[in-house]
Amino acid sequence: MALADSLCELADGESPFPAVVELNVGGQVYVTRHRTLVAVPDSLLWDMFSRSSPQELPKDSKGRFFLDRDGFLFRYVLDYMRDLRLVLPDYFPERSRLLREAEYFQLRELVRLLGQQLEQPTPPSEDSWPDGGSKGPPCSAKPRLAASSSSVTVPASPASSSSDSCPPARRSGYITVGYRGSYTIGRDCQADAKFRRVARITVCGKTSLAKEVFGETLNESRDPDRPPERYTSRYYLKFNFLEQAFDLLAEAGFHMLACSSTGTCAYASDQGEDKIWTSYTEYVFCRG
């Protein structure tokens, strides 16, 4: 029996909403009690699930109530509404984005708590050092010459510059790029074949290295609370051009070490002769 068939009882009378509600928030499915959604008076969820009827709210193809918001950050919004307390992971760089979600859902107390945390200065982490975690700030002191009875003039080298700062050292490490693609080959491999179609490019490696190379093109909302020194395989790129990923890696000083691939072949239809090749390929890059 569908969840919408069971009705809940509220203090002010009978509600047309089910006691247990299924939500689709940006493609992520959540199941929670109706009383949790109306726990904060005058919030957006309270207005949706207490004043409106179920027929007035948007739903997905499976009958779940649909919210076009960030599905991964909504778990923190829902956690707050369960006990009205803000508890976040120790490393959570998404506070500004979560603040935007709190403002959208009109959770005034959550907005206040997140605003206080954003105003507090954040101590620098080891990942902020250019050498990736060495003790003490690099290039903070100039080399000193030993005392001598005679003065010595050292000519400046051609590579020297007037700036006292030295270029940051690039951290070594590995990044694995994988993609699943398909292409169609017609009869006798004619030139009008449909070429490669890349479904998604995945990124595996240390979080700090992946963010350094791919920046804003990395969909880091899939793993928002992972510390920079940890490894992850949950990232993927917002674009589908494999060569663009290679260019970004080359600009960051990475070189390809190895690659491997697997593939399958099947006919596109029982009536035609076109064959569809589907492959999964991984490329291993290194910066020494």
**Residue 29: is its pLDDT beyond 90?**
yes
- Closest residue by Cα to residue 214 from 187, 184, 241, 182: 241
- Tens of pLDDT, residue by residue over 84-109, are 999 998 888 889 999 999 999 999 99
Same domain for 181 and 268, yes or no, is yes
Does a structural domain hold residue 236? yes
What is the arithmetic mean of pLDDT over 104-119?
Answer: 93
pLDDT for the residue numbered 91: 81
Report whether pLDDT(2) > 50: no
What's the domain count of the chain? 2
pLDDT for 7 beyond 90: no
pTM of the model: 0.52
Q: Do 263 and 178 belong together in one domain?
A: yes
Claim to verify: residue 81 and residue 179 sit in the same structural domain = no
Residue 122: pLDDT band with limits 50, 70, 90? low
d(CA 219, CA 72): 11
Distance CA 100, CA 72 (A): 13
| Low-confidence winner among 13-17, 76-80, 265-269 (lowest mean pLDDT) | 265-269
Residues 32-43 have a mean pLDDT of: 95
Print the domain residue range for 252: 173-187+194-287
CB 222 within 8 A of CB 236: yes
Answer whether residue 167 is part of any domain: no
Largest CA distance in the chain: 96
In a domain, 154, yes or no: no
Q: What per-residue confidence (pLDDT) applies to 4?
A: 39
Is residue 281 in some structural domain?
yes
Is the model's pLDDT at 8 over the cut of 80?
A: no
